[in-house]
Amino acid sequence: MKNQEIAKILYEIAEYLEMEGVAFKPQAYRKAGLELDTFDRDIEDLYREEGFKGLKKIPGVGESIAQKIEEYLKTGKIKYYEDFKKKIPADVEILTTVEGVGPRKVKIIFEELGIKNLDELEEAAKEGKIRKLPGFGEKTEKNILEGIAFLKRDKGRFLLGEILPIAKEVFAKLEKSKEVEELSMAGSVRRMKDTIGDLDFLAISENPEKVMDIFVSLPGVVRVWGKGATKSSIRMSQGFDMDIRVIPKKSYGSALQYFTGSKDHNIHLRKIAIEKGLKLNEYGVFKGQKMVAGEDEEEVYKVLGLSWMAPELRENTGEIEAAIREAQGKSNGLPKLIDYKDIKGDLHYHSRWQEIDGTPIEEAALAARDFGYEYIGISEHTKTLKIEHGLDEKQLLHHISEIEKINFRLSSGGQLKFRVLSGCEANIMQDGSIDIDDKVLARLDYVIAGVHSQFKMPMEKMTERIIKAMGNPHVDIISHPTGRLIKKREEYQIDVEKILEAARETKTVLEINSYPERLDLKDVYIKRAKEEGVKMIINTDSHNPSQLHYIEYGISQARRGWAEKEDIINCWPVEKLLKFFNE
């Protein structure tokens, strides 16, 4: 689809405009980019069927942006963008991913030092040239070097949220083929890891060669690394690789087990097999020459003395021991993981994103209802977050009364049991105070608080800051508690153990934010929170209805963190939730 191609250009135009110090326009381009990125119709189809007028149906797309989209669809180029690129031919998209480097800094480093890409930036920083630039200094230079090192560490990995939709599309295409008898995802994507190196598929087929033909000619394939009789490997246009293997039916279960991994899980499992005098590999479980399991994954685990466990658990963090206890009928076996269908509502939804139209609350509510929810909570940013046009006290009171009216309308026909809750995502200030008056916080159904500024504080200070916010009796939830942005920004320095202890004492809920680049809390912290009896909530942080489905990524991380239904408060009905917030 051209949607993502054009969205990327719109984002880049926003960066260029910001470089020039233009007001408002950058937000408009960014908003249009986001909408297009998540728009559910192919833009080429839309344009073919409805012409220029159709383009303006995309939220956030007005006359001038529609013209640029049309130009791209007709000529493959946007002159406005090309002119910017000629003036500053730096890789703005990559350079601005470095923590602390915004568009304006890109402009300075290009104009002063001619820096166009990451390698050049790194070299200049190492040579001490960055600190001498106006507005930079030694600390910025150090941060840039740290930022680049961080980016390099995750290079070549992809966000689960970027890759899973593509994996599902590929899966559906392959599955449709009559040559494919059985198909599974394997590897890290089956384990729903937060980042993915490459995609692995396994299949059963009478005609492996035909499956190979189909695989290497999938749309979006840009390179074939290898094409064998039963095994192929390709590169997709988005930059990641996919492997497929066709497996004989009698070995399908053991291959699925082996190629799902993780590697550490497999190594531990193989050790158990050896101790039992068995041999375990991708072809089966063997006693001498005799195959004792292989076709069925559950059987493979069973003959080794384990119960089957969800792929999300397979990281060798205690799941093997738990599966043995489970098989022996002992207590303390495998967790009864929260199910993908257990969530009843989402409490982190921004309806007035950057104040440029946004999605009206009622529309968001109806979308959430269609999504299968019983409630949605609208949690706008608050006043000190200027860039997001956060609400002040007066606007929050208006927000509450607007939601009351909507609830009244939604229930007046008596036709639906759906509830909109009024919330906010307030800012935790540097000293741990909340940027909204307590009296107004008390009027909301619930309060989320999060850190949105001054990320670089010493560990002790940052920990104190968040713990103080949890001590505010109106604060119910801490959003994205560690602040990481995968591949972009390190967590803040915090003492997670102390935060968990304070959360338990103050009965503050920690968020599992499902936004693809956040997934925060991450799996290992979720597991610790559960062990400490801390309640959590899985939210999406959606900015429009098409992001509600991000919830799947948050649920998968909760499952990777061994979370059960009772650990997650938005598995509860609304009455129980409100009672909990009121206590």
Residue 248 interaction partner, one of ligand DGT, Ca ion, none, beta carbon < 5-8 Å per kind = none
Residue number with CB closer to ligand DGT (122 or 200)? 200
CA distance 283 to 566: 39
Q: Which two tokens stand for residue 542?
A: 């959606």
Answer whether 425's CB lies under 8 Å from 376's CB.
no
User: According to the 3-state scheme, what is the secondary structure of 482-529?
Assistant: CCCECCCECCCCCCHHHHHHHHHHHCCEEEEECCCCCCECCHHHHHHH
Residue 222 interaction partner, one of ligand DGT, Ca ion, none, beta carbon < 5-8 Å per kind = none
CA distance 277 to 288: 9
Residue with smallest beta-carbon separation from ligand DGT: 261
Residue 60 interaction partner, one of Ca ion, ligand DGT, none, beta carbon < 5-8 Å per kind = none
Which amino acid is located at 24 in the chain? F
Residue number with CB closer to ligand DGT (251 or 351)? 251
Q: Identify whether 262 is preceded by a cis peptide bond (ω within 30 of 0).
A: yes
Residue number with CB closer to ligand DGT (193 or 559)? 193
Closest approach of Cβ 200 to Ca ion, in Å? 5
Answer whether 335's CB lies under 8 Å from 564's CB.
yes
- Asked whether the CA dihedral 481, 486, 492, 496 is positive or negative, the reply is positive
Torsion of CA 260, 264, 266, 272, to 10 degrees: -150
Closest approach of Cβ 187 to ligand DGT, in Å? 3
Closest approach of Cβ 196 to Ca ion, in Å? 6
Chain center to CA of 446: 24
Residue 524 interaction partner, one of ligand DGT, Ca ion, none, beta carbon < 5-8 Å per kind = none
Q: Which residues bind Ca ion (CB under 5 A)?
A: 187-188, 198, 200, 243
Residue number with CB closer to ligand DGT (177 or 262)? 262
Query: Which among 189, 195, 197, 194 has a CA at the least distance from the CA of 512?
Result: 194
Q: Which residues bind ligand DGT (CB under 6 A)?
A: 187-188, 193, 196-198, 200, 258-259, 261-263, 266-267
CA distance 18 to 388: 15
Closest approach of Cβ 201 to Ca ion, in Å? 10
Residue number with CB closer to ligand DGT (256 or 391)? 256
Residue number with CB closer to Ca ion (174 or 364)? 174
Element (H, E) at 162: helix 160-176
Residue number with CB closer to ligand DGT (188 or 254)? 188
CA distance 191 to 219: 25
Residue number with CB closer to ligand DGT (240 or 572)? 240
CA distance 87 to 529: 50
Closest approach of Cβ 259 to ligand DGT, in Å? 5
Q: DSSP class of residue 541?
A: -
Distances (CA, A) of 40 to 46, 58, 323: 10, 10, 41
Q: What angle do CA 78, 83, 89 make, to 5 degrees?
A: 110
Closest approach of Cβ 243 to Ca ion, in Å? 4
Closest approach of Cβ 198 to ligand DGT, in Å? 5
Residue number with CB closer to Ca ion (190 or 480)? 190
Answer whether 478's CB lies under 8 Å from 511's CB.
yes
Residue with smallest beta-carbon separation from Ca ion: 187
Residue 284 interaction partner, one of Ca ion, ligand DGT, none, beta carbon < 5-8 Å per kind = none
Residue 262 interaction partner, one of Ca ion, ligand DGT, none, beta carbon < 5-8 Å per kind = ligand DGT
Question: What does the chain come to in residues?
Answer: 583
Closest approach of Cβ 193 to ligand DGT, in Å? 6
Answer whether 518's CB lies under 8 Å from 481's CB.
no
Closest approach of Cβ 188 to Ca ion, in Å? 5
